[in-house]
Copies of this chain bind each other. A is one copy, B any other.
Amino acid sequence: MTGPTDNLWEAMSTARTIRRFTDEPVDDATLARCLQAAVWAPSGANYQRWRFLVLRSPEQRQTVAAAAAHALEVIEPVYRMSRPDADDQSRQARNNRATYELHDRAGEFTSVLFAVERLPATPDLLLGGSIFPAVENFLLAARGLGLGACLTSWASYGGEPLLRAAVDLPDDWAFGAHVVIGWPRGNHGPVRRRPMSEVVYLDRWGTAATEITQAVSSADD
Residue ranges of A at the interface with B (Cβ–Cβ < 8 Å): 5-9, 11-13, 15, 17, 27-29, 31-33, 35-37, 39-42, 44-46, 48, 50-57, 59-60, 79, 116, 123-129, 131-133, 135-137, 139-141, 144, 151, 153, 156, 167-170, 174, 176-177, 191-194, 196, 199-206, 209, 211-216, 218-219, 221
Contacts and interface: CB of A to CB of B under 8 A. Distances in A.
> Interface majority SS on A: helix, strand, loop or mixed?
mixed
Nearest to A124: B124
B203 A60 contact: yes
Given A40-B193, A133-B136, A123 B203 contact: no
Q: How many copies does the complex hold?
A: 2
Contacts of A204: 53, 60, 167-168
B201 A53 contact: yes
B41 A212 contact: no
Contacts of A54: 200-203, 209, 212
B60 A215 contact: no
B37 A12 contact: yes
B128 A213 contact: no
Contacts of A8: 5-8, 11, 140-141, 144
Contact of A128 (B40, B46, B125): B125
A36 B219 contact: yes
Contacts of A33: 216
A156 B55 CA distance: 34
B136 A193 contact: no
